Structure 1
């Protein structure tokens, strides 16, 4: 019990610290809350005005001034309430915008390793759904909580002044309402927390399946995925029913308490009216104040429930914001990238006890072509990820010349690299957007067309209705695999990099296109440090150096002819590959 209170205090503190980071408009928020308080205070006058009206009620005593005052109070209350609601919503939207900005800025700068272990759908849910929980607290519940407290205290104070005996009877209702509402609030928090988690999982499932709908259909997996989705929907439905059951109790129980209080007040108050201790107007005022005590109890309970939900939501946001992001600017600038890249006893594993690369040592000469070949799963693509600095080596050092590459800023290092992967990823947008992706300078149509022509992409682009302004669809789905690959190559060409990294750059092309693109790549590679991964050895037999990697180790290095003479596994590997390529060409003929 002693540990729980400091822990809760720490959670409250973390919640408010996170909200402060969004730099909310404290002036607007304070103004909105002040208006809400004024509105509540004005509403406390209404029963008193009603009392005077009832006590002095007669057609002769009813004056236009009294009616006008009551109408004026109602109008002022409505006007202040409307503006306070707008100001609170403005503050809530400002805070949610700030939270999303903080999360988005953090996510976009987190290293690749973070996304290896976190489902993208759940991460998306944190940015969208969890921030909405905080917004609900600020726009709908803070005001209700503060005004509810004022309404309860103000009403009780006025009632004590009017008639302390009847007030004591009313006060019995307050703890009774609290006994009912507090456990319900706790139950609602538990259900809401489970709903948040289930919603995040369901969002993750949708984000996993829908982008790969073509794989689902080609695999006849619609029924399998429907069942997975149905399980999530059913789980959310069950949680919704639990929430509905709890909510269905609130109204009737509050009504029961309120009716019991009304009966007690009317019964005891009626006796006092008949004995002359209390006026009829005072009894009416008592009943109105009773409503102003009971109804805010629900608002106060709802506030604490929403606050707990918000704390749960911000815990997850805080976890994301606590992650260490990539520092892209610290480090020196590369002045001369035309230097050899040296790998010195480099080892790496995604998990500490499972090394993918083991004691890799090699020199990639500047201005020359180094090909990395070997069986699938040997670690070729992982080596590329280290060179791209998506990950740091577990052991060993990678150098550019004499300096470790991590002594250069990430921004400067990646500016030197043109990277074409075997997945050839494209962003939703136009062909122009994708070829120019990542470049902040203005790019002319002539430059884009030149890069596209060198990548053997200009011909098919010109056949499209909108040419370079053609939309490629989500992940480039409107283009064929070969077309996507050529767009990716054009993107690398436009960067005019010092270091080229080609990971199966021609893997999606037909034979004719592959030859044309290979010719373009030959021109591009001239004078640049080029590192190539290729399963088809026919594309790299002329490389200046081949590194043969198997099971995470370099077991052979040299030219194609040198390895054919000295490395048995490479020779078998090469003969199988070259024979396969020859068979494919014969079939094509």
Structure 2
């Protein structure tokens, strides 16, 4: 489902029920919790009647120990059943939300790259954590108690009619008054909650970005700028928090006022009924206690309704993830074959956004077990070619074929297992060097295999020099290692994958000369007997390539070896002249 700007379809209760049902609620535990909750509700209705009888016994000077014993037993039964019921509901709520979170996480991992192009990562994280927590609160604290409260109210009203139907009619007048207060306020709560979740997600995104790039912030003297930006977003969140507080500040006192006025009227009118002999003192006490049994659930109805509106807003945000189209993965898809074949682009056209074509009818062949370099100015489409090979995106038209078969016919998992990727700033995951070398490998990996790929990646020396060796923590995004060390760990990881097709995004561009020399030797080991595609920003790194493809403005304007392009391609010759001239000057 494509997300429309500013357009949010209000989630129905039916969708929320379907979401909870799909999470596999433990029905036996839930049923037991409901039974205990109902026992507590029924017990709560019996206590006022026994109390009334006890008071009438006082007035008749006939204190009955049996009645006191039953009353104590009812108190204990209500307390025990309520305690067990709450624990079981907490179990149901936590387990259900845990399954929803796992489903969301599974879906997030299956979402296509375009989703992450449109949504900031912290906003997605907020949906998985904060929004699901609202669902858990609804289940644990409100959902089942809502139904037991309904039973309590229905039972209490029936008993009240039995005791005195006239006073009961007075109580029922408060019901439409209460709903008249609840309904309009609930709609406002939904709008405020929806906006509040959005602001919370924006704040999380900003904090994640700033903390993740704290070195850039400090090096750029941007602390004041980020402080101001953070304050603005926190103030926005504060304002929405106060809007929610205003709603509750109106709702809770109004509901309390209705209940207190009702209680005063009942006590006053009940006193008149007792003095006239139409009602005994014990019956009046029972009546008042039952009224409290109605008042407490009725106030909880207000809380439940506002919480339901918040959950509806949260579920709407979850729905945007759950109904987003995942990466296409056909069950009957072919398994990508082992070995090497030519990889061919056949009139491939692609645009990230409609009307903004990045590649236009691109056709070229990447020969098996050869090195193909992609060169061209920034924005010419080189990185897009990599993304299409990795199937992060689907061509708008044309096809990419491995041998004679379009790569879209292969399963994503089997196709991506054929690929190895090393970028300019190869990312590392938080964990140890060993964790990063074996990252993505599902099969068991021996220490000998890890040591071998580290040796081939020229990483063995620096790893062994570290106090903890392979168990050294790399820090967030590998910040504890130098650029050259990160690159060599990434190359070791790629070697362990044993890819047939290697994608190199100018892996030595950001390194010093010593590190570049070490990394280049590691890359030579990695490229051996593999189909290699290199994005080249510096022509000096690809002069030995078997084939150089020149991309300009999304079109191929030439291909061949370095010497051929110097003679046949004016733009390439100009780039080479500038770069090698600069290099000669530097050497001089």
TM-score, normalised to structure 2, is: 0.94
Secondary structure in structure 1 of the residue aligned to 2:488: helix
Aligned partner of 1:303 in structure 2 is 304
Aligned partner of 1:187 in structure 2 is 188
Aligned partner of 1:490 in structure 2 is 492
- CA change 1:36–1:336 in 2 (3 A) is closer
CA contact (8 A) 1:178 1:297 kept: no
Q: Does 1:370 find its partner at 2:393? A: no
How far apart, CA to CA, are the structure 2 residues paired with 1:324 and 1:93? 27
Q: What does residue range 551-566 of structure 1 map to in structure 2 within 5 Å?
A: 551-566=553-568
CA contact (8 A) 1:166 1:265 kept: yes
How far apart, CA to CA, are the structure 2 residues paired with 1:582 and 1:59? 116
Aligned partner of 1:521 in structure 2 is 523
Aligned pair partner of 2:476 in 474, 477, 480: 474
1:382-401 CA deviation, whole Å, 9 max, x = no partner? 11111111112112111111
Aligned partner of 1:114 in structure 2 is 115
- CA change 1:585–1:145 in 2 (3 A) is farther
How far apart, CA to CA, are the structure 1 residues paired with 2:577 and 2:9? 68
1:304-348 CA deviation, whole Å, 9 max, x = no partner? 222232222222222211222124564212334311111111121
Aligned partner of 2:412 in structure 1 is 410
How far apart, CA to CA, are the structure 1 residues paired with 2:207 and 2:404? 48
Aligned partner of 2:547 in structure 1 is 545
How far apart, CA to CA, are the structure 2 residues paired with 1:195 and 1:397? 44
Aligned partner of 2:384 in structure 1 is 382
Aligned partner of 2:453 in structure 1 is 451
Aligned partner of 1:236 in structure 2 is 237
How far apart, CA to CA, are the structure 1 residues paired with 2:41 and 2:184? 27
- CA change 1:580–1:108 in 2 (3 A) is same
Secondary structure in structure 2 of the residue aligned to 1:440: coil
- CA change 1:306–1:286 in 2 (3 A) is same
Secondary structure in structure 2 of the residue aligned to 1:277: coil
Q: What does residue range 66-215 of structure 1 map to in structure 2 within 5 Å?
A: 66-215=67-216
- CA change 1:59–1:456 in 2 (3 A) is farther
CA contact (8 A) 1:455 1:490 kept: yes
- CA change 1:392–1:253 in 2 (3 A) is closer
How far apart, CA to CA, are the structure 2 residues paired with 1:170 and 1:415? 70
How far apart, CA to CA, are the structure 1 residues paired with 2:188 and 2:350? 48
The Cα shift of 1:75 comes to 0.6
The Cα shift of 1:173 comes to 2.9
How far apart, CA to CA, are the structure 2 residues paired with 1:566 and 1:9? 61
- CA change 1:513–1:193 in 2 (3 A) is closer
Aligned partner of 1:266 in structure 2 is 267
Aligned partner of 1:576 in structure 2 is 578
Deviation larger for 82-91 or 239-248 = 239-248
Secondary structure in structure 1 of the residue aligned to 2:424: coil
CA contact (8 A) 2:370 2:531 kept: yes
Secondary structure in structure 2 of the residue aligned to 1:521: helix
The Cα shift of 1:301 comes to 2.3
How far apart, CA to CA, are the structure 2 residues paired with 1:323 and 1:447? 40
How far apart, CA to CA, are the structure 2 residues paired with 1:326 and 1:412? 14
Deviation larger for 271-280 or 39-48 = 271-280
- CA change 1:182–1:361 in 2 (3 A) is closer
Secondary structure in structure 2 of the residue aligned to 1:80: helix
How far apart, CA to CA, are the structure 1 residues paired with 2:328 and 2:289? 62
- CA change 1:10–1:227 in 2 (3 A) is closer
How far apart, CA to CA, are the structure 2 residues paired with 1:251 and 1:559? 78
Deviation larger for 85-94 or 286-295 = 286-295
- CA change 1:343–1:109 in 2 (3 A) is same
CA contact (8 A) 1:55 1:281 kept: yes
CA contact (8 A) 1:456 1:516 kept: yes
- CA change 1:392–1:9 in 2 (3 A) is closer
How far apart, CA to CA, are the structure 2 residues paired with 1:524 and 1:264? 87
Aligned partner of 2:5 in structure 1 is none
1:261-288 CA deviation, whole Å, 9 max, x = no partner? 2222222221221222211111111111
How far apart, CA to CA, are the structure 2 residues paired with 1:401 and 1:470? 42
The Cα shift of 1:92 comes to 0.7
Deviation larger for 174-183 or 467-476 = 174-183
- CA change 1:182–1:365 in 2 (3 A) is closer
- CA change 1:180–1:112 in 2 (3 A) is closer
Aligned partner of 1:3 in structure 2 is none
1:401-459 CA deviation, whole Å, 9 max, x = no partner? 11111122222211111111123011111111111111111212222222122222222
CA contact (8 A) 1:144 1:303 kept: no
Aligned length: 580
How far apart, CA to CA, are the structure 1 residues paired with 2:355 and 2:110? 27
Secondary structure in structure 2 of the residue aligned to 1:302: helix
How far apart, CA to CA, are the structure 2 residues paired with 1:493 and 1:575? 35
- CA change 1:190–1:566 in 2 (3 A) is closer
1:551-574 CA deviation, whole Å, 9 max, x = no partner? 112212111111112212111211
CA contact (8 A) 2:341 2:403 kept: yes
The Cα shift of 1:360 comes to 1.5
- CA change 1:145–1:388 in 2 (3 A) is same
How far apart, CA to CA, are the structure 1 residues paired with 2:194 and 2:526? 55
Secondary structure in structure 1 of the residue aligned to 2:12: helix
CA contact (8 A) 1:435 1:494 kept: yes
- CA change 1:447–1:38 in 2 (3 A) is same
The Cα shift of 1:178 comes to 3.2
Aligned partner of 1:13 in structure 2 is 14
How far apart, CA to CA, are the structure 2 residues paired with 1:9 and 1:370? 51
How far apart, CA to CA, are the structure 1 residues paired with 2:55 and 2:10? 49
